[in-house]
Amino acid sequence: MRVHVLDDWADTLRHLPGFARLSGHEVTIWTDRAPDEAALAERLAGAEALVLFRERTVITASLLDRLPGLRMISGRGAWPHVDVAACATRGVTFCSRKADDMPNHAAAELTWALVLAAMRDLPGQMAALRDGRWQAGVGRSLRGRTIGLYGGGRIARLVAGYAGAFGMPVIWWGSEGRRAELRAAGETVPDSRAAFFGGADVISLHLRLAPETRGAITAADLAAMRPGAVLVNTARAGLIAPGALLAGLEAGRPARAALDVFDVEPLTDPADPLLCHPRVIATPHIGFVTEDEFDLQFSEIYDQINAFAAGQPISVVA
């Protein structure tokens, strides 16, 4: 099959062991983003299969209409960026495995790195040292401080394990059903939403972005945070109500934010108000960006292509 791999911006995949699984196909790798849908369709004119790089490209009905030779799309994880109904009506098989049984260690590790960076102001200390200033400010220890985890899924549970190793008590929040599960498991769940946001020195978000969770974190939630508290978001920017985080930072709640996700990605504007805010630590959505995680995820994507080519598709969504 003629397979096109989209959005491999760092040109990483061809150098990983799992890429050999595509050896029986004619493969084209795109390492930059097409400027618009028309240019993307022109690139993919001969494609029979697409490999999606997470949510970097949105698959719309209009794009599919421009690709009459496309037979299948292979991805991994949730698919808010794919018009599944359009795939089905156009005879394009869409395969994606959510892998609910496999925690994303890379994302959890980055979350904890951002917790440490924010509490000790590592970027500020490093910049000061390079400027010839020794010990610029005083950080805060983690031991004895409370971390609040919003969401009780696989990544949040890994982060809770790290918190235990650092001596941090953990409190939890989530949907009503999730809170009931957590209480039944013996976890600490505050009596109210305000008590959760006001009860932690670090709040870390671990929700999937879905219609029911978009904008779930409100300005009132941020205003309820403790003085000096840190908000960490390695999940999705859309979980926070539009404008609420920037306004909250200006008001001092949260005192600092550590972000791996943004409303517009890739974010290349150095003047973006969140990116350049003095109390924001920012990374470019690298929670899953490790060689180990890439090889794990994309090996499954390649297996879906091979299964489809063999006439026995797996992980079929539509």
Question: Is residue 222 included in any domain, yes or no?
Answer: yes
Contact between 4 and 28 (Cβ < 8 Å): yes
Task: Determine, yes or no, domain membership for 318.
Answer: no
Structural domain includes residue 315: no
Same domain? For 178 and 128 the reply is yes
In whole angstroms, what is the distance from residue 295 CA to residue 13 CA? 8
C-alpha distance across the termini of the chain, in Å? 19
Tell me what pLDDT residue 20 has: 98
Same domain for 197 and 167: yes
| Whether 173 contacts 189, CB under 8 Å | yes
Say yes or no to pLDDT of 28 above 70: yes
pLDDT score of 160: 98
Residues 122, 79 share a domain: no
pLDDT category of residue 98 using cuts at 50, 70 and 90: confident
Residues with catalytic function = 236, 265, 285
Q: Please state which of the ranges 145-149, 222-226, 266-270 shows the lowest mean pLDDT.
A: 266-270
Q: Domain holding 111: CATH number?
A: 3.40.50.720
Average pLDDT over residues 278-296: 96
- Tally the domains of the chain: 2
Q: What residues make up the domain containing 69? A: 2-101+290-309
Same domain flag for 96 and 109: no
Q: What is the mean pLDDT of residues 149-176?
A: 97
Residue pair 159/149 in contact by the 8 Å Cβ criterion = yes
Residues 88 and 109 in one domain: no
Q: DSSP alpha helices (H): ranges in 121-153?
A: 122-130
Structure tokens given for 40 = 């993307």
Residue 100: per-residue pLDDT = 63
CA distance 285 to 41: 26
pLDDT band at 102 (very low <50, low <70, confident <90, very high): confident
Query: Percent of the chain, pLDDT > 70?
Result: 99
**90 and 236 co-located in one domain:** no
User: 85 and 208 in one domain?
Assistant: no
pLDDT digits (tens, 9 = 90+) for 107-143: 999 999 999 999 999 999 999 999 999 999 999 999 9
Check whether residue 256 and residue 226 sit in a common domain.
yes
209 with 256, same domain?
yes
User: Is residue 226 located within the same domain as residue 78?
Assistant: no
Claim to verify: residue 133 and residue 156 sit in the same structural domain: yes
Rounded CA separation 257/207 (Å): 17
In a shared domain, residues 260 and 305? no
